[in-house]
Each structure stands twice: as structure tokens, then as C-alpha cells.
């Protein structure tokens, strides 16, 4: 008796429009009985798109056919194998090299007309898939425009049973979200330290059977959805990966907020500082100023650089493999620089009046910078609206007055380049404003945090001192004469004569 295998597939979007998985399998078993075939296995892909070949049951079917265990493959219709004609032809060629493929809805004839009919059905199936995608996307977009959540609910929320498409706060998980933000912003814990605390306390993760990890914590801290909004149509996922769409195409959906905008901005700012300080291969020695030093000549970061057993810092622009001439900024001794910076910071911590004066000066400078940053954002937004208006007028002229197509295309390309450049500049400026707003949150807890640091300042090891510096210092600019200028909560300039590299 001829052995055969049954293959059936449904995607999420098709379940309501075509036969279900069980119905397909039942009809194919009946077809096998009518033809006198013996069904040796069933390969069922539930909820997998026909636009891709990456399907678990299809992969197992292909392996079984290659092994010679199956003589005939039965499928309900060619579009069950794939909704792309190229994929259909590829699969048929591969499967029929070792077996025979038969369909319930289509009689295959070994004639040119039979091949033409099969190809026509493949084209129709691909067209139908695109129409399903179009209808589904249009429905989701309209749902988002009505203020309803399209995607699955994030950690900290649950669907509102009284109002489909809305979310309500899950208080137990929301308290965990707030606690994670507080650990990062107020206590200065890294994401790995936060994970350790969550596991130690036995906090249930978002999915049963999983454990808390750094990636999940970073997603919670970096996501703006917890400020009370989610966006539909913000990202485009294609063959070349994920890309961010223009902000004008986003659809904002309001949801209950768990943290404030200021808390979210503060968390992003702390994550950025931690990334500068901790990313990369762990150093052989502890470098207290890692991620804080910047070259005053070229603007590059200073990196740790052991020299014959001595800890040093050097400008990252001083690279012998660079195509241009390397930066000639001096190397500085880690021991001397760290001791001088720590003495300055520790003296300020021990003297609340000095610390408060530094904070007030920093806040005043912050206020001046705030005006400049917001003015730049407004100017860039105005320029962007002007360029978009020019594009629209150019297209209207092309339609109404019949301007030459080549001339329109050239001018549109130039406007597109200008528009994309402005959008990039605007995005970076808005990020600077968000980071700038986040710095304001550092003032609220500074007195409490400084009082706590003063009690144990003399007992801190190198790692503890590094943590203190990360809280109080934004960056330290290294001058050509090895002077150090500290910017942040404690703006000051150290004695340059103490920072020369020991010979």
C-alpha cells in the first residue's frame, strides 16, 4: 500500500475565512482512504503564515521526504504549501524529487496546460495573501485610530474585561515596574543588580516558566509605554530588519500611566550613563573614571590603557589604525587623576554648603541650556514642516501643470534627502531635551543621597567610589596640559600640576 503524509496549514488571519486545521486534515484523510493510501504521519502548521518557509511542520515534512519515508504528500490546496509562487515552485521541485504531491482542490496534469493552471493558482494565492494583509492592516490601523490597543498587553497591564481593546493597570506588576525604576534612578543599581534583587525577592516574571533577565529589565526601563501611551505603526519590519517610520505616521493610543514622563526620562539618562561606563570587556583593573573622561581636543572618550603594569587613560582618538592622523592628546595616570577627582568630590560631599552651591550653579546652567535646546527643537520642526510643504506643492504642480517627470524626480530626491536629514537632527535634539529634563530628577533626591554617602564615604572601595562619581559627575574634560574640568553636579577645575603622568 502506498504510504502518504498529510500536510495542512492555517494562519491566524485565515482561520475565520477558510477551512480550519481539523477540517483540512479530516478531508485529506478521507481522500487518502478513497485512493487507497496509508497515512503514516500528519504535519500540521497552526497559526503560521504562508508567506514564509520557516514553519516547524513543513520543515519536518521536508526532512521526512528527503529520508524516503513518504511516497505521496497530500495537501488541501497549493496555497497551503505557500502563498508565494516562487516558494510553491521551489517546494514542489524539492518534494517531487523523492515523492509525489497531490491536492484535494486541484487536479494536476503532466501537460503544459496543467502546469499553467497550477502557476495561475499560485499567482492568485499570492494576490489573496496580499489582500488579507491589506485588510488586516487596515483594520488594525482603524482600531488604533479609535484609541484601542492593537498589540498584546505589556507587563504591568491586563485587558479591560468591561471594554475590549482597552487596558487596565495590574497593580501588583505595576508596583514592580515602579520599584525597578526606583532602584535604577535613586539607588543607582545596574540592570544586573536589579535582576539579582528580583530573583532574590521571588518576584514572578511576566511569563510563567521564565526567569527575570537583564533584557526584560532594560525593556521595562527603556519603554515609553509606561508613561501612558503606546504607538501603532511606529516600526516597519521588512527583509532588512526593523526600521523606525517617520513620526507623522505614528498613531498614539492612550493607556493608564504607571510612571511619569520625568521618571522615564531619568531612567533613560541613567541607562545611557551606565552604558558609557560599563559596556565592553571587563577591565583587568578597576578604573573609577571609566566612561567619564572626554578629550578636550578631539571630543573622543578616554579609555583605560594599562602601561607596563601601571593604570593609565588615553584618548580613543589616538588610534594607530585610523585613516587620519591620530589625536595627540596626552596620556594621564589613572592613580593621580582618580585621587585628585575623588578628593574634590569627597570634599564637596563632606561640606553640604559647597555641594548646594555646586547644585545651584549646575541648575542655573541647566536652565540656560534648556532654553537653547527647546529653541533648536522648535526651529528644526519648523524647517521640517517647510520641506514637507515644498514636497506637497511640487507634487501638486506635477499633477496640475504637467512639469517634466525627470525634473520633478530630481527635485523630490533633493527634498527627500533634506527631509530625512532634518528628521534625524530633530530626533537627536528631542533626545537631548528628554535627557536634559531627566537631569532635573537628580536634584530631588540629591540631599538625601549625599547625606547617606557622607556617612560611609571613608569606607568606600574603588567600586563604591566609582558609583558615587557616576551619580555626581556628567563628564570630565581632559585638557592638552592634562588639566581636568569636571562638569555635572560639581562643576570645578582641578590643579593641573598634579595630573602629569609619572615618568
| 449 φ, ψ (degrees, to nearest 5) | -70, -40
- pLDDT, one tens digit per residue, over 266-314 is 888 888 777 766 655 555 677 888 888 989 888 888 888 888 878 899 8
CA distance 317 to 320: 9
Alpha helices in 67-170 (DSSP H): 78-81, 85-95, 112-145
- Residue 99, judged by CB atoms within 10 A of its CB (0-12, 13-18, 19+), counts as buried
Which of the pair, 411 or 159, is modelled with greater confidence? 159
188-206 pLDDT, tens digit each: 888 888 999 998 888 888 7
Q: Give the per-residue pLDDT at 502.
A: 37
The C-alpha cell of 283 is what? 577591565
Cell of 307: 602601561
* 348: three-class secondary structure by DSSP: helix
pTM of the complete model: 0.47
Cβ count near 307 (within 10 Å): 12
**Torsions phi, psi for 14 (to 5 deg):** -95, -15
- Nearest residue to 177 (alpha-carbon basis) of 97, 256, 295, 234: 256
Count of all residues that appear for the chain in the document: 503
**Domains in the chain and their CATH numbers?**
3-140 (3.40.50.1390), 157-259 (3.90.1750.20), 293-498 (no CATH)
Quick check: 330 pLDDT over 50? yes
Rounded to an integer, what distance in angstroms lies between the CA atom of residue 244 and that of residue 144? 18
d(Cα 125, Cα 467) in Å, to the nearest integer?
A: 60
What is the pLDDT, as a whole number, of residue 176? Answer: 93
- Helical residues (DSSP H) of 146-225, grouped into ranges: 171-185, 191-201, 214-222
Q: Is 299 left (phi over 0), alpha (psi -120 to 50) or beta?
A: left
Half-sphere exposure of 346 (CA within 13 A, CB side): 15
Q: Do 76 and 9 touch, CB atoms closer than 8 A? A: no
Percent of the chain with pLDDT over 90: 14
Taking every pair of Cα atoms in the chain, the longest distance, rounded to a whole number of angstroms, is 96
Grid cell listed for 323: 585613516
Query: Which pLDDT band holds residue 108 (cuts at 50, 70, 90)?
Result: low
User: pLDDT digit string (tens) for 70-87?
Assistant: 999 999 888 888 877 777
When mean pLDDT is compared across 94-103, 222-231, 363-372, 390-399, the lowest value belongs to 363-372
Quickly list H helices, 317-461.
Answer: 334-350, 352-401, 405-439, 441-444, 446-455
Q: Comparing 219-233, 289-303, 390-404, which segment has the lowest mean pLDDT?
A: 390-404
- Minimal CA–CA distance to 466: which of 193, 275, 278? 278
Enumerate the β-bridge partners of residue 167.
159
Confidence of residue 365 (pLDDT cuts 50, 70, 90): low
Looking at the DSSP bridge assignments, the partners of residue 30 are: none
- Give me the torsion for CA of 137, 139, 142, 143, rounded to 10°: -110
pLDDT tens profile 141-187: 788 888 888 877 889 999 888 888 889 999 999 999 999 999 998 88
Residues 88, 77 contacting (CB under 8 angstroms): no
Identify the pLDDT of residue 499: 37
H/E stretch holding 149 = none
Beta 312-315 vs 241-244: how paired, if at all? unpaired
The three grid cell numbers given for residue 144, joined into one nine-digit string: 488604533
Question: How much is the pLDDT for 16?
Answer: 40
Using the Cα atoms of residue 66, residue 92, residue 25 and residue 15 in order, give the sign of their dihedral.
positive
Residue 159, beta-bridge partner list:
167
Closest Cα partner for 334 from 314, 348, 316, 308? Answer: 314
pLDDT band at 209 (very low <50, low <70, confident <90, very high): low
Backbone angles phi, psi at 402, to 5 degrees: 70, 40
Q: How far is C-alpha 420 from the geometric centre of its chain's CA atoms?
A: 20
pLDDT for position 111: 63
Residue 319, all three cell numbers: 588610534
Nearest 5°: phi and psi at 242? -95, 135
Amino acid at each position: 500500500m502506498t504510504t502518504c503524509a498529510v500536510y495542512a496549514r492555517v494562519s491566524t488571519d485565515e482561520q475565520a475565512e477558510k477551512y480550519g486545521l481539523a477540517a483540512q486534515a479530516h478531508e485529506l484523510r478521507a481522500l487518502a482512504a478513497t485512493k487507497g493510501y496509508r497515512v503514516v504521519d500528519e504535519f500540521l502548521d497552526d497559526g503560521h503564515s504562508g508567506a514564509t518557509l520557516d514553519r516547524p511542520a513543513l520543515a519536518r515534512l521536508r526532512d521526512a521526504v528527503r529520508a524516503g519515508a513518504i511516497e505521496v504528500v497530500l495537501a488541501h490546496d497549493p496555497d497551503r504549501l505557500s502563498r508565494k509562487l516562487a516558494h510553491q515552485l521551489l517546494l514542489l521541485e524539492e518534494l517531487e524529487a523523492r515523492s509525489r504531491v497531490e491536492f484535494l482542490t486541484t487536479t494536476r496534469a503532466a501537460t503544459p496546460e496543467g502546469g499553467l493552471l497550477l502557476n495561475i493558482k499560485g499567482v492568485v494565492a499570492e494576490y489573496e495573501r496580499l489582500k488579507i494583509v491589506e485588510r488586516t492592516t487596515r483594520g488594525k490601523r482603524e482600531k488604533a485610530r479609535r484609541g484601542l490597543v492593537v498589540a498584546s498587553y505589556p507587563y504591568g497591564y491586563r485587558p479591560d474585561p468591561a471594554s475590549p481593546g482597552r487596558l487596565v493597570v495590574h497593580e501588583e506588576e505595576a508596583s514592580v515596574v515602579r520599584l525597578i525604576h526606583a532602584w535604577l534612578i535613586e539607588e543607582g543599581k545596574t540592570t544586573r543588580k536589579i535582576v539579582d534583587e528580583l530573583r532574590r525577592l521571588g518576584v514572578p516574571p511576566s511569563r510563567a516558566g521564565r526567569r527575570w533577565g537583564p533584557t526584560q529589565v532594560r525593556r521595562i526601563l527603556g519603554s515609553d509605554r509606561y508613561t501612558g501611551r503606546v504607538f501603532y505603526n511606529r516600526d516597519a519590519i521588512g527583509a532588512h530588519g526593523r526600521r523606525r517610520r517617520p513620526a507623522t505616521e505614528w498613531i498614539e493610543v492612550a493607556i493608564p500611566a504607571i510612571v511619569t514622563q520625568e521618571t522615564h526620562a531619568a531612567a533613560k539618562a541613567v541607562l545611557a550613563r551606565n552604558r558609557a561606563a560599563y559596556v565592553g570587556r571587563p577591565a583587568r583593573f578597576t578604573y573609577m573614571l571609566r566612561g567619564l573622561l572626554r578629550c578636550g581636543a578631539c571630543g573622543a572618550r578616554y579609555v583605560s590603557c594599562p602601561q607596563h603594569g601601571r593604570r593609565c587613560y588615553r584618548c580613543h582618538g589616538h588610534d594607530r589604525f585610523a585613516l587620519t592622523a591620530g589625536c595627540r592628546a596626552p596620556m594621564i595616570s589613572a592613580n593621580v587623576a582618580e585621587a585628585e577627582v575623588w578628593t574634590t568630590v569627597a570634599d564637596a560631599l563632606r561640606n553640604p554648603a559647597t555641594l548646594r552651591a555646586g547644585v545651584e550653579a549646575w541648575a542655573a546652567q541647566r536652565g540656560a541650556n534648556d532654553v537653547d535646546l527647546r529653541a533648536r527643537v522648535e526651529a528644526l520642526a519648523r524647517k521640517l514642516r517647510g520641506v514637507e510643504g515644498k514636497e506637497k506643492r511640487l507634487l501638486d504642480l506635477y499633477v496640475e501643470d504637467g512639469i517634466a517627470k525627470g525634473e520633478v524626480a530630481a527635485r523630490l530626491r533633493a527634498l527627500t534627502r533634506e527631509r530625512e536629514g532634518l528628521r534625524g537632527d530633530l530626533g537627536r535634539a528631542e533626545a537631548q531635551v528628554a535627557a536634559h529634563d531627566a537631569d532635573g530628577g537628580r536634584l530631588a533626591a540629591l540631599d538625601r543621597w549625599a547625606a547617606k554617602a557622607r556617612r560611609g564615604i571613608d569606607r568606600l572601595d574603588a567600586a563604591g567610589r566609582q558609583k558615587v562619581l557616576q551619580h555626581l559627575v556628567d563628564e570630565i574634560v581632559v585638557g592638552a596640559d592634562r588639566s581636568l574640568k569636571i562638569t555635572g553636579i560639581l562643576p570645578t577645575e582641578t590643579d593641573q600640576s598634579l595630573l602629569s603622568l609619572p615618568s
